[in-house]
């Protein structure tokens, strides 16, 4: 009996897969994933060209279902989310890795500015390769840096001022005030370049032999909510999103 090998099927994205559903099912699934309905926003040609030249993808959507107020004019806030990639191999010298990450992120944030983004959220630990699955501390913890005057914060403060943009920057932090503890910390940078505050990951996954506590400690700063020019922001980092009381505490 001879059988042909099944065709290789690759999923481009969750959104593209939803296009294969019947319209009623697609609407139902999208409501579960994203809430009320949304529509695509046109990408400016300059941003399209930037994406093509620098090998990244841009998508934009407008959320519907917001109830208009009777006494205040509506205000549109544009929020961007950036998922980066490692631009150089993780065995390169640490300073070379960080420089390449900064150069890459500068382009992506420029594209976000071209879309009119007011608040941009970077990925968890974007100033490092995602090394938590390696069970190795060296040399990765050398990439931890200050959340107030480290090279990544200084770099993003300049971009925040340039583009009038609030930047949420999750980094691997070396907390010099608390005995150089390593933390998984999101720094909130104001649109004028100042540091509004920071919040450290408060739920660390310990699943089987996967234990991120090998690299950093839990945050003990509670559930701060940061007042920005474009609204109030609370930050649940990675595993924290699985804990409903985490979200409740930020809301309260």
Cite the active site residues.
Answer: 124, 201, 238
Q: What DSSP designation does 89 have?
A: -
Phi, psi for 118 (deg, rounded to 5)? -95, -40
Three-point CA angle 132, 134, 135, nearest 5°: 85
Cα dihedral 135, 140, 141, 144 sign = negative
Q: Residue ranges of the alpha helices (H) in the chain?
A: 14-18, 23-34, 45-54, 94-114, 151-163, 244-251
Q: Where are the beta strands (DSSP E) in 51-205?
A: 61-63, 79-82, 119-122, 166-175, 181-189, 195-200
Q: Is residue 124 a contact partner of residue 82, using CB atoms and an 8 Å limit? A: no
Q: Is residue 173 a contact partner of residue 114, using CB atoms and an 8 Å limit? A: no
* N- to C-terminal Cα separation, the chain: 65
Phi, psi for 159 (deg, rounded to 5)? -65, -40
Strands 119-122 and 195-200: unpaired
């Amino acid at each position: 009996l001879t059988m042909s090998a099944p065709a290789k099927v690759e999923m481009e994205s969750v959104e593209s897969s939803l296009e294969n559903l019947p319209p009623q099912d697609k609407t139902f699934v999208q409501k579960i994933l994203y809430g009320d309905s949304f529509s695509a926003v046109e990408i400016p040609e300059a941003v399209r060209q930037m994406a093509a030249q620098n090998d990244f993808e841009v998508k934009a959507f407008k959320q519907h279902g917001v109830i208009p107020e009777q006494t205040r004019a509506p205000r549109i806030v544009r929020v961007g989310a950036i998922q980066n990639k490692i631009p150089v191999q993780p065995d390169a010298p640490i300073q070379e890795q960080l420089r390449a990450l900064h150069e890459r992120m500068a382009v992506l944030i420029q594209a976000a500015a071209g879309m009119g983004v007011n608040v941009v959220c970077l990925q968890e630990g974007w100033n490092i390769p995602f090394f938590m699955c390696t069970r190795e501390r060296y040399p990765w913890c050398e990439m931890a840096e200050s959340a107030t005057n480290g090279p990544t914060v200084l770099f993003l403060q300049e971009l925040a001022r340039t583009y009038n943009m609030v930047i949420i920057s999750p980094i691997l932090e070396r907390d010099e005030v608390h005995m150089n503890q390593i933390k998984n910390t999101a720094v909130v940078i104001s649109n004028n370049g100042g540091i509004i505050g920071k919040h450290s990951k408060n739920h660390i996954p310990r699943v089987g032999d996967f234990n991120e506590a090998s690299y950093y400690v839990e945050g003990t700063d509670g559930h701060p909510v940061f007042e920005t020019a474009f609204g109030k922001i609370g930050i649940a980092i990675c595993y924290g999103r699985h804990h409903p009381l985490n979200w409740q505490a930020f809301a309260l």
